[in-house]
Amino acid sequence: MYSRKMASFASDDKLMMHCFQDSLTGASLNWYMQLEGNRILSWRDLANAFIKQYQYNIDMAPDRTQLQNMSQKEGEPFRVYAQRWRELAAQVRPPLLEAELVDIFTNTLQGAYFERMVGSVSSGFSDLVKIGERIENGIKSGKIQANVGSQNTSKEPANSVAKKEEGETNVVTPKGRVLEPIPMPYSQLLSYLVHNGMVTPRATKPRTAPFPAWYNPQAKCEYHAGTEGHSVDNCQSFKNKVQDLVTKKLLTFKEGEPNIQDNLLPGHADPSMDAS
C-alpha cells in the first residue's frame, strides 16, 4: 500500500526510506527504530526486512476451520456475534461464496438458534442475521425456550470438575489460578505458537455419550488436532498452556502482537512446555 502511494517517487530510495517511518505506529515503529542502519542500504532492503518481520500475519490468516470453530459467547447479542464472525470470514482466502457463508455460520449456532435456523431457506447472510434476531427476541420474551448449548446449564461450577482425556487434563482451571487476558483470539495465537515451535497439537480420545454439558458436536479444537467437542477459544487446556508461557515470560504481548523469548529459536520449544 505504501509503495502504491509513493509510486511517483519509487526511484528515490532515500525519500522512500525517509517517509516510510511516518506510515508506522506502535510495535512496527519500535521495530523500525531498532533496525541496524548498516544492514539497510536501499528501499528494497527495508521492504524485505519489513515483510520478513511480519510474514507470520500471513501464515496466521484465518481459514474455514477457524470459522467453523467459532461460537456465540454467553450473553453476546446475536447481531454482535454475527458481525464478529463475518469480519473474520472476510479475511479468509480464497473468499467464501454466499451459500458457503450461510452454511458455515449456521453450523456454528447452538440450541434454539440452530434448531430453528438449520432448515430455513435464506437468500443471504443478512437475512440469516434478521432471522437470528427474531429468535433472540422470542427467547427474551419467553415465547421460545432457550436451549443454547454454549451456556453452562450445570449447577456445578465449570472449574470444579477435572475432565481427563487420555492422560491429559482438559478444560480445567486449577482453583485460585487467574488466567491473564490476552489481546487476541486464542485460535489465532495457536497458529503463531505452533509456527514458532512453542506448542505441538496432539489428538485426544474422542468422547462418547453421554456428553457433558459443555460438549459442542459442531466445534473442533485444533490444539487437540481437530478433536470435536469444543473449540480452541473454549479450550481450557490450551489457555492453561498459554498462561504457563506467560508466567515463565516465554511469551509476551506488545501492542496487541505476540512475542516469544529472544533466545528461544523457532522450532525449539521449551521442553517444559510440551503439549503432552
What pLDDT digit, counting tens, does each position of 201-249 carry? 887 877 777 777 778 888 888 888 888 888 888 888 888 888 888 888 8
Tell me the pLDDT of the chain averaged across its residues: 78
Identify the pLDDT of residue 80.
94
pLDDT in tens, 176-188: 567 888 888 888 8
Residue 11 has pLDDT above 70, yes or no: yes
- Distance in angstroms (rounded) separating the CA atoms of residues 220 and 63: 13
Cell of 199: 506448542
Beta-carbon contacts of residue 270 (< 8 Å; ≥ 6 apart) = 198, 245, 248, 250, 264
- Distance in angstroms (rounded) separating the CA atoms of residues 167 and 204: 9
Q: Percent of the chain, pLDDT > 70?
A: 80
Identify the pLDDT of residue 170.
41
Identify the pLDDT of residue 261.
65
250-259 LR contacts (CB < 8 Å, sep 24+): 250/198, 251/193, 251/198, 253/182, 253/183, 253/184, 254/27, 254/30, 255/26, 255/27, 255/30, 256/26, 256/27, 256/183, 256/184, 257/27, 257/184, 258/184, 258/189, 258/192, 258/193
pLDDT in tens, 97-154: 888 888 899 999 988 898 888 777 666 888 889 999 999 999 988 888 876 444 444 4
Half-sphere exposure of 239 (CA within 13 A, CB side): 21
Cell 470444579 found at: 160
